């Protein structure tokens, strides 16, 4: 995941690789981005490659990521390294040979319903499964993954632990925002 804040005019933007374990998100390694906003695929790839080099015997069961962590280069990188994605797709993402927007494939979804596309399909250049669900607030979740839908939906829910980690690092506990530090 990525978290950022501003200190005056200075952007503090951290791309963080963490492990979810026993209800906690544990920071493993990170990269400070020299700009505000989203990370580029090459920066994400370098972070994952650093992990793979330092921990060659550790299997990455899956990589949980939010909607900003998408793109053909990124998905192909994960595929080439045997890392199964469990990544939320934006509604505008297209799937399949005809490039249907994912929102159109899963329209008229009812609250609490989980709908699975009937077979693997091309998502950002890689064959994956895709499923969708709608929560009580009406928010849609479109998920690209390998394997079965329900275990991956449960896995993706664990990504919330990383949001809690960011909150603890920034404002609850470590208070990194209060340090005034802006340089790596």
Residue with tokens 């990370």: 39
Higher-pLDDT residue of 77, 184: 77
Query: What is the overall mean pLDDT for the chain?
Result: 87
pLDDT in tens, 104-118: 999 999 999 999 998
The pLDDT score that the predictor gives to residue 177 is 62
Higher-pLDDT residue of 38, 45: 45
| Residue 136 CA: distances (Å) to CA of 3, 87, 117, 149 | 26, 21, 22, 19
Question: Is pLDDT of 125 > 90?
Answer: yes
pLDDT in tens, 141-177: 999 999 999 999 998 888 777 676 666 666 666 666 6
The pLDDT score that the predictor gives to residue 26 is 84
Mean pLDDT of all residues in 68-92? 95
Please check whether residue 140 is in contact with residue 134, taking contact to mean a CB–CB distance below 8 angstroms.
yes
In the chain, what percentage of residues exceed pLDDT 90? Answer: 59
């Amino acid at each position: 995941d990525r978290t950022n804040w501003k200190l005056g005019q200075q952007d503090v933007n951290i791309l963080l690789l963490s492990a979810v374990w026993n209800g906690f998100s544990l920071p493993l390694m990170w990269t400070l981005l020299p700009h505000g906003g989203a990370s580029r695929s090459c920066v994400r790839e370098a972070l994952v490659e650093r992990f793979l080099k330092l921990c060659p015997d550790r299997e990455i069961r899956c990589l949980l990521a939010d909607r900003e962590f998408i793109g053909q280069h990124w998905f192909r990188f994960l595929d080439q390294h045997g890392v199964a994605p469990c990544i939320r797709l934006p509604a505008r993402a297209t799937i399949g040979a005809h490039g249907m927007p994912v929102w159109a494939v899963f329209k008229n979804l009812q609250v609490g319903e989980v709908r699975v596309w009937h077979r693997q399909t091309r998502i950002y250049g890689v064959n994956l499964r895709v499923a969708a669900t709608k929560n009580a607030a009406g928010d849609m979740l479109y998920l690209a993954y390998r394997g079965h839908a329900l275990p991956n939906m449960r896995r993706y829910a664990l990504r919330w632990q990383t949001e809690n980690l960011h909150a603890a690092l920034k404002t609850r506990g470590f208070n990194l925002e209060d340090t005034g530090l802006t340089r790596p």
